[in-house]
Amino acid sequence: MPSFSHHPSALVVPEEPLIAPGYPERFRVRLAGRVEQVWLPTAHSKPMYRAELLVAKSKPLQWTNPRAIIGMPIVEPPGEDFDEEAEAPTDAGKHLNTASLATVTSQLETVDVAFPSYPPFNYGDRVILKWQGQQMVPGVLAGALLRCSGVVSIRANQPIIYNPRYEIVPQFFVEKG
């Protein structure tokens, strides 16, 4: 029977600077930035469209939304997601009727996660966006400006968001602002 030793291994992995220090390995995030490059799937591989986003702004999002649980579509108003005034907490449940709210609260345990006060990604960090099952994603090309949200997973010091929700930001609004 093999025996295990408590001695450190001879192979030591060098410490790399952590991406999103203080944040968990998986968390919801909203990002804004420019697509730096895209990778198209080869002809004989499984369809997976990948893009690398150069982050300009980021902020964490809470895990649960009662509207998503009961099947109501979530409409995110454009342009309000990174305003400082919009970061004040709001009452998310005020749009639900009381019957739906009672059902949701009996099945859902809301846990507010205390994230650090700084954004998860700095200006210039790179995040990979992957759309599984897609050969092409309309509008997501190198140089495009995006706002996207989803669950980011940081493994092997590489942040990846699978099948993110995204919004293409017109170049006109960036130049005027």
User: Is residue 172 assigned to a domain?
Assistant: yes
> What residues make up the domain containing 158?
26-70+108-176
What's the pLDDT band for 97 if we cut at 50, 70, 90?
very low
User: Is residue 36 assigned to a domain?
Assistant: yes
Closest CA to 50 of 145, 135, 166: 135
Instruction: Report the percentage of the chain scoring pLDDT > 70.
Output: 58
Identify the residue with better confidence: 53 or 40.
53
| CA 122 – CA 119 distance, rounded (Å) | 7
- What does pTM read for this prediction? 0.65
Q: Domain with 30 in it: what CATH number?
A: 2.40.50.140
**Average pLDDT, whole number, for the chain?**
75
Query: How many domains, the chain?
Result: 1
User: Is residue 126 assigned to a domain?
Assistant: yes
User: Is residue 130 assigned to a domain?
Assistant: yes
Tokens 């009961």, located at residue: 70
- What does the pLDDT read at residue 110? 53
- What does the pLDDT read at residue 78? 53
User: Is residue 141 assigned to a domain?
Assistant: yes
Q: Which tens digits make up the pLDDT trace of 80-95?
A: 456 545 444 444 444 4
Q: Which tens digits make up the pLDDT trace of 110-142?
A: 556 678 889 999 999 999 999 999 989 999 999
153 touches 160 (CB < 8 A): yes
Tell which phi-psi region holds residue 24, choosing left (phi > 0), alpha (psi between -120 and 50) or beta.
Answer: beta
